[in-house]
Structure formats: structure tokens, C-alpha cells
């Protein structure tokens, strides 16, 4: 199952669960004795509830099955059509109520269409709803008081549907775009990780082989280990170590066909009659795809007599000077791939300098591990952003639905509570999307700056006052030491930097505690420090938190978030020629310090 198919299946199951929850609401609403049902309407409401029950259970079961792409498309369209019919059934059943509040329920299917098909789905369904709502209102005006066509009942419902469809559709589109981009980056990182992994495997083979050959002064013993290590990663039919000894080329060790062992081979030929001469002269690897077709050196006739058809001879380098060659042969013609030729070349270069190669291998392995870690962070970003967006979206939708359904029954303080939650969650969504966009601009090099002279002291007081006023649980204390020299910088970007540090500190500070913000000059720099008494950050995690998507482990008090705020803050500090660092110990709070140079840019 592809990622897209898995997402669609989870979405269908989620909607199926919502449908089941709606069934409980429908039963409670139809049973509500305060409704003064006209003849036939109560029965119609119960029939609609029964149909909803059967359909909800059926669609719940279907949503849990595996479907083809076409099957999922048909199921989604059928489920949406069912929901539209059921909603209008309830609208018809409760059309007798003054103001037709039931018509507001239609916004639910518009939201569902926007979730399924984006903004276009919400707009199309809103357009289709318009004539139906007109018919419903006309029918109501003919049968129930007030007996006049109330245009507002139609326009208000359509307005709510249009706004809801555009908002949800826009959020869905942005989420899909961000998820698609993150998946592409994860796929690229995974491909790069696999490639680095292959190179790491090759380096590991070279490392083992070089160590084996240099593991003992006894050539027989070390050669046996070397051959065993090479054979495990590079199949061959013959392998030999060649050295240039004066005008001759000699074999000091070999294995496979024509083997004479190590230290016992007496094979030697004039250097000019061997491929080793070309290797030493050019300093490059010589590849012979088919020895029997056109022998280039007299020695190749002897090799062909053993049945060998293809051969690679790589320079054996020590301290940058080729002293000999590593020869690897196979029975089949053109039997070596480009990667295998490169591996033989690397083996030849590394045999004489095993210790230096071990260090190089360790560096490459560390790079591979870092790429694997970055690949894992990118892969997690899809689920992370999905999780961070899903929570606020669910809260907003739930609060909006409750306000629509129960506006008249809710007390004013309850309405304010719901509206405050909607404001808080939409602000959280906007901040997350802003951080993602800023990160994308930083990566693309389009994060712009407008440099002017900035009074950092005034800026610190301003941001501290905003953060202190914006929440009541944590006190923010700001102090500016002396008269600070102006800093050449972008005031809005520096404000964003300080705001990120303060909001991060508030997140990790317990209620009733205090955050201390200081600004002062020191040795040609203006410093801004933000100190809290939170859980602290372990030394091994202090580098991680400044990286993209980097977050401290849960054991150190990690809070929900995308891990972008400190990355953006550090990038802004560095763009101003400054630095951002942290001083902290586990359980002893943290102090983030920004250093900005005084002067012009």
C-alpha cells in the first residue's frame, strides 16, 4: 500500500468514526422532548436516524477493508453522497423550527468535501447546495411560520459553508503540499542514505582487508586473512599482489586459480611484458574486459591459459607512490561492474596504508550515520506536521460545530471560552505554518533582511512586554544594562529571534515562575540572554535543538512542536554576524544567549 493510499484509508476510517459519533447526537436530538414536532416530522426524524445508523455501520465496515484505487474513490464519493442525503433528511425533518437552525448542519458535508477534495470540493458542494436550500426554504415558507420566504436562511447558510469550505480546503491543500514536499525530501535523503550505505559497506570491506594484511609480519597468515575478507565482499577466481622489483614484476602472494600461496610464488616477468608497467606509468587502474580476445601483454597468455577472461589491476599505493598492483581476475568476460572496479582500485590504494584508511573510514562512517539521522528526521516530519496540524484543526472544527449547534443554549462565558479556544488553536496553526515557511525560505536563500540601526534595549523591552501580556502563568522580567550601542540589523527579524526565545522559555517554565531577559554590552558586542528555570537540556542534546526538526528527548521535558523555532533563531543570529548558544544542565534551567556585533554591515 502506497503512502497516499494509506492516508486515504485512515481518512475514511476517521470520517467513519465521526459518523458513528454523529449517530449518538442524532438519537439524542430526535429524542429531545422540547421539539414541538408537526405531524409526521417526528417519525421522519426517527427514520432518518435509522438510515444513518445502518449507513454509518455499513460504511464503518467498508472503511476497514482494503480497496483498489478505483474502489477507494467510489467508496469516498458514495460516503459523501450518503452524508449529504442524511443531512438534508434531518434538515427536512426539523425545517419547522424557527430560523431553520438545522440548515446549518449542511456545513458539515461541505467540510467533509473540503477534507476529501480540497477547496474545490467545498466550493462545488456549496454551489450544489444553493438550489436545494432555496427549495427547502420555499417549502418551509409554504408550510410553517413565518410564512414568508426568508432569504437570510439561505444566504447565511451558504456564507458559512463557503467560508468553512475555503478554510478547510486551504488547510488541506497546504498540508498535502507540505507532506508531499517532506516525502520527496525523505525519499531523496533515503536514496542518498542507501548510496552512502553502499559506500560505507565498501569502505568497511577495505578497512577489514587492509587490517588483515597488516595484522601480522607473517605474510602467509596475513594473506590468508586478507583473502578471506576480500572474498566475502568481492567474488573472484584469482587474486594476486604484484610488486615492481627493478626491471621485473613479481607475484608476492596469490590465491585462486594457479595459486602458489604467499611467500612461495616464484613467478616473475620483465616489467614491460606486464600490465603492471602501465599501472605504474599512468598511476591508474587497468581493466581488461576480455583477455582472450586481444591480449595486450605476454603475461596475459598465461592468465588466459587458466581459463580467466577478465581482469582488473589497480595500483598498490604507499605514501602516494605506486609500488605495485592488486590483480583480480574472473572466468567470465566483461565480468566487473564499475562499482567493483572502483572497489578494487580502492583496495589497491589502501593496502599499503591501513592505519590512514581506518581513520578515513571512521570519518565516512560518521558522515553516513549523520545522513541516516537527517533522513530519519525528514521522514518523521510528515507525521510530525500532520500531528501538529490535526490537533488544532480538530479543536477548531469541534468548537465551531458546537457553537453552531448550541449557540442559543450556551451561556455567554461558554461562548467566549469556545471562541478563545478557536483563537488559540488558529494562532498555533498560523505559527506552525509560519515556521515551516520561514524554514523553507532559509533553505532556498529567500529569507530577506532590511538592515538599519536597531536599539536592542528598546526591542527587548517591547518583546518582553508583549509576551508577558499575552499569558498569565509566567512572569517575564526584562532588564537593560546601561545605554546600548545600536546594532546594524533587521529589526523585525531580531524581534522574531527574541520572540522565539521567549515563547520557547514560556513553554518550558512552570506556572508561577519567572523568566529573566537581559540586554547588555560587552567587548564590542550586544548580548541578549533569556534564562528560565525549566527542566534544562543535557549537554548531548544542546547541539541537536538548534538543528531543523531537532527536539530534546522526552525525558528532558520535551513539549509538542515542530522543532523549528530555535533553528530559525540561530539562522537569524548568524545572518547578523552573531551567534546563538545555550548554557544548561539537566534539572537546572537554561540560558540562551545571543551575541550581536556592534557596527555596520
Share of the chain above pLDDT 90, in %: 9
For residues 560 and 483, the model is more confident at: 483
- pLDDT band at residue 262, thresholds of 50, 70 and 90? very low
Residue 297 has pLDDT above 80, yes or no: yes
C-alpha distances in angstroms, 566 versus 281, 504, 579?
55, 8, 12
Asked if the model's pLDDT at residue 143 lies above 80, the reply is yes
Q: Which comes out higher in pLDDT, residue 283 or 111?
A: 111
Nearest alpha-carbon partner for 474 in 531, 529, 435: 531
Lookup: cell for 572: 537569524
Q: Which of 121, 116, 106, 104 is nearest to 165 (CA)?
A: 121
Question: Are the C-beta atoms of residues 90 and 140 closer than 8 Å to each other?
Answer: no
Does position 54 have pLDDT exceeding 90, yes or no? yes
Residue with grid cell 540601526, as numbered in its chain = 453
CA dist 554 and 533 (Å) reads: 17
In the prediction, which pLDDT does 556 show?
42
Rounded to whole angstroms, the Cα distance separating 517 from 530 reads 5
Count of CA atoms in the C-beta half-sphere (13 A) of 419? 9
Q: Is the pLDDT of residue 12 over 80?
A: yes
Question: Which residue, 510, 498, 518, 497, is CA-closest to 471?
Answer: 510
Mean pLDDT of 125-148: 84
479 bridge partner residues: 518
- Model confidence at 355, pLDDT cuts 50, 70, 90, reads very low
**CA-CA-CA-CA torsion for 263, 267, 269, 271, nearest 10 degrees?**
-30
Where does 215-269 have alpha helices with state H?
Answer: 219-233
**In contact, 561 and 551? CB cutoff 8 Å:** yes
Q: Is 466's pLDDT higher than 50?
A: yes
Tell me, what's the pLDDT at 587? 78
Q: What is the mean pLDDT of residues 416-420?
A: 76
The predicted structure's pLDDT at residue 370: 66
- The closest alpha carbon to 254, from 268, 270, 242, belongs to 242
Mean pLDDT of the region 373-397: 60
User: What value does the mean pLDDT take over residues 382-402?
Assistant: 64
pLDDT of residue 183: 80
C-alpha cell at 565: 523555532
What is the average pLDDT value for the chain, to the nearest integer? 80
* Residue 356 reports pLDDT greater than 60: no
**Contact predicate 325/276, CB 8 Å:** yes
Q: What is the 3-state secondary structure (H, E, C) of 404-427?
A: HHHCCCCCHHHHHHHHHHHHHHHH
Grid coordinates of 345: 582500485
445 vs 19: which has the higher pLDDT: 19
Q: How many CB atoms lie within 10 A of CB 599?
A: 12
Question: What pLDDT is stored for residue 81 in this prediction?
Answer: 92
Task: Give the pLDDT band of residue 254 (cuts 50, 70, 90).
Answer: confident
Say if strands 268-270 and 286-288 run parallel, antiparallel, or are unpaired.
Answer: unpaired
Q: Residue 442: is its pLDDT beyond 80? A: no
**Top-confidence residue, 259 or 166:** 166
Q: Considering only residues 183 and 501, tell me which one the structure prediction assigns the higher pLDDT.
A: 501
Q: What is the pLDDT of residue 561?
A: 56
Q: Is-contact 453 486, C-beta < 8 A?
A: yes
For residues 346 and 403, the model is more confident at 346
Residue 380 has pLDDT above 60, yes or no: no
Percentage helix, strand, coil for the chain under 3-state DSSP, each rounded to 5: 60, 15, 25
What average pLDDT does the segment 112-129 reach? 89
Where does the pLDDT of residue 91 fall: very low under 50, low under 70, confident under 90, or very high at 90 and above? Answer: confident
- Residue 125 contacts residue 109 (beta carbons within 8 Å): yes
Between 17-21, 28-32, 134-138, 220-224, the lowest mean confidence (pLDDT) is in 220-224
Cell numbers standing for residue 412:
455567554
57 pLDDT higher than 90: yes
> Tens digit of pLDDT for each residue in 519-563?
999 888 999 999 888 888 888 777 777 776 666 654 344 455 556
Q: Which three cell numbers stand for residue 351?
A: 593496502
Indicate the pLDDT class of residue 383, thresholds 50, 70 and 90: low
Task: Please tell me which residue, 150 or 109, carries the higher pLDDT value.
Answer: 109
Query: Do the Cβ atoms of 85 and 106 come closer than 8 Å?
Result: no
Give the mean model confidence (pLDDT) for residues 157-162: 86
* pLDDT greater than 50 at residue 228: yes
pLDDT in tens, 172-203: 888 888 877 888 888 888 888 877 877 787 77
Is the distance from CB of 566 to CB of 573 less than 8 angstroms?
no
Q: Is the C-alpha dihedral spanning 499, 504, 507, 510 positive or negative? A: negative
pLDDT in tens, 575-585: 888 999 888 88
Grid cell locating 44: 421522519
Amino acid at each position: 500500500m502506497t503512502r497516499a493510499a494509506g492516508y486515504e484509508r485512515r481518512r475514511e476510517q476517521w470520517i467513519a468514526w465521526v459518523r458513528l459519533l454523529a449517530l449518538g447526537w442524532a438519537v439524542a436530538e430526535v429524542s429531545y422532548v422540547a421539539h414541538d414536532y408537526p405531524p409526521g416530522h417526528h417519525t421522519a426524524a426517527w427514520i432518518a436516524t435509522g438510515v444513518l445508523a445502518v449507513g454509518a455501520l455499513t460504511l464503518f465496515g467498508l472503511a476497514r477493508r482494503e480497496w483498489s484505487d478505483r474502489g477507494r474513490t467510489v467508496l469516498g464519493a458514495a460516503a459523501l453522497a450518503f452524508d449529504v442525503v442524511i443531512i438534508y433528511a434531518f434538515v427536512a425533518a426539523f425545517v419547522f423550527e424557527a430560523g431553520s437552525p438545522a440548515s446549518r448542519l449542511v456545513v458539515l458535508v461541505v467540510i467533509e468535501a473540503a477534507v476529501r477534495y480540497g477547496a474545490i470540493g467545498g466550493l462545488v458542494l456549496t454551489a450544489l447546495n444553493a438550489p436545494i436550500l432555496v427549495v427547502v426554504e420555499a417549502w418551509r415558507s409554504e408550510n410553517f411560520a413565518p410564512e414568508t420566504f426568508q432569504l437570510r436562511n439561505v444566504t447565511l447558510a451558504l456564507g458559512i459553508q463557503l467560508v468553512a469550505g475555503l478554510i478547510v480546503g486551504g488547510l488541506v491543500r497546504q498540508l498535502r503540499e507540505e507532506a508531499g514536499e517532506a516525502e520527496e525530501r525523505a525519499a531523496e535523503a533515503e536514496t542518498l542514505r542507501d548510496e552512502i550505505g553502499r559506500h560505507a559497506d565498501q569502505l568497511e570491506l577495505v578497512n577489514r582487508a587492509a587490517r588483515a594484511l597488516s595484522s601480522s609480519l607473517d605474510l602467509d597468515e596475513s594473506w590468508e586473512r586478507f583473502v578471506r575478507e576480500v572474498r566475502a565482499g568481492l567474488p573472484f577466481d584469482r587474486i594476486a599482489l604484484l610488486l615492481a622489483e627493478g626491471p621485473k614484476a613479481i607475484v608476492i602472494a596469490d590465491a585462486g586459480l594457479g595459486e602458489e600461496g604467499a611467500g612461495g610464488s616464484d613467478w616473475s616477468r620483465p616489467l614491460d611484458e606486464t600490465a603492471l608497467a602501465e599501472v605504474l606509468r599512468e598511476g591508474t587502474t587497468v581493466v581488461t574486459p576480455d583477455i582472450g580476445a586481444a591480449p595486450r601483454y605476454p603475461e596475459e597468455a598465461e592468465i588466459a591459459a587458466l581459463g580467466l577472461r577478465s581482469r582488473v589491476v589497480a595500483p598498490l599505493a604507499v605514501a602516494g607512490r605506486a609500488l605495485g598492483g592488486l590483480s583480480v581476475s574472473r572466468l567470465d568476460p566483461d565480468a566487473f561492474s564499475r562499482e567493483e572496479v572502483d572497489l578494487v582500485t580502492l583496495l589497491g590504494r589502501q593496502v599499503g596504508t591501513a592505519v590512514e584508511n581506518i581513520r578515513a573510514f571512521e570519518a565516512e562512517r560518521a558522515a553516513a550515520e549523520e545522513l541516516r539521522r537527517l533522513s530519519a528526521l525528514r521522514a518523521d516530519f510528515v507525521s510530525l506536521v500532520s500531528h501538529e496540524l490535526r490537533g488544532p484543526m480538530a479543536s477548531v472544527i469541534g468548537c465551531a460545530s458546537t457553537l453552531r449547534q448550541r449557540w442559543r443554549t450556551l451561556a455567554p462565558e461558554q461562548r467566549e471560552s469556545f471562541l478563545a479556544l478557536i483563537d488559540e488553536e488558529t494562532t498555533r496553526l498560523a505559527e506552525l505554518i509560519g515556521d515551516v515557511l520561514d524554514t523553507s525560505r532559509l533553505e532556498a536563500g529567500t529569507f530577506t533582511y532590511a538592515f538599519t540601526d536597531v536599539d536592542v534595549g528598546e526591542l527587548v523591552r517591547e518583546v518582553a512586554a508583549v509576551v508577558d501580556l499575552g499569558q498569565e502563568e509566567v512572569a517575564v522580567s526584562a532588564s537593560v544594562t546601561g545605554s546600548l550601542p545600536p546594532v546594524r540589523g533587521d529589526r523585525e527579524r531580531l524581534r522574531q529571534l527574541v520572540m522565539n526565545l521567549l515563547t520557547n522559555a514560556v513553554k518550558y517554565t512552570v506556572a508561577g515562575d519567572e523568566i529573566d531577559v537581559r540586554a547588555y554590552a560587552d567587548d564590542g558586542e550586544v548580548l541578549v540572554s533569556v534564562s528560565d528555570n525549566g527542566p534544562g537540556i543535557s549537554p548531548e542534546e544542546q547541539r541537536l535543538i538548534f538543528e531543523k526538526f531537532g527536539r530534546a528527548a522526552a525525558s528532558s521535558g520535551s513539549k509538542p512542536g515542530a522543532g523549528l523555532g530555535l533553528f530559525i533563531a540561530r539562522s537569524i543570529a548568524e545572518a547578523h554576524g552573531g551567534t546563538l548558544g545555550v548554557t544548561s544542565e539537566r534539572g537546572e534551567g537554561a540560558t540562551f544567549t545571543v551575541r550581536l556585533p556592534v557596527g555596520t554591515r
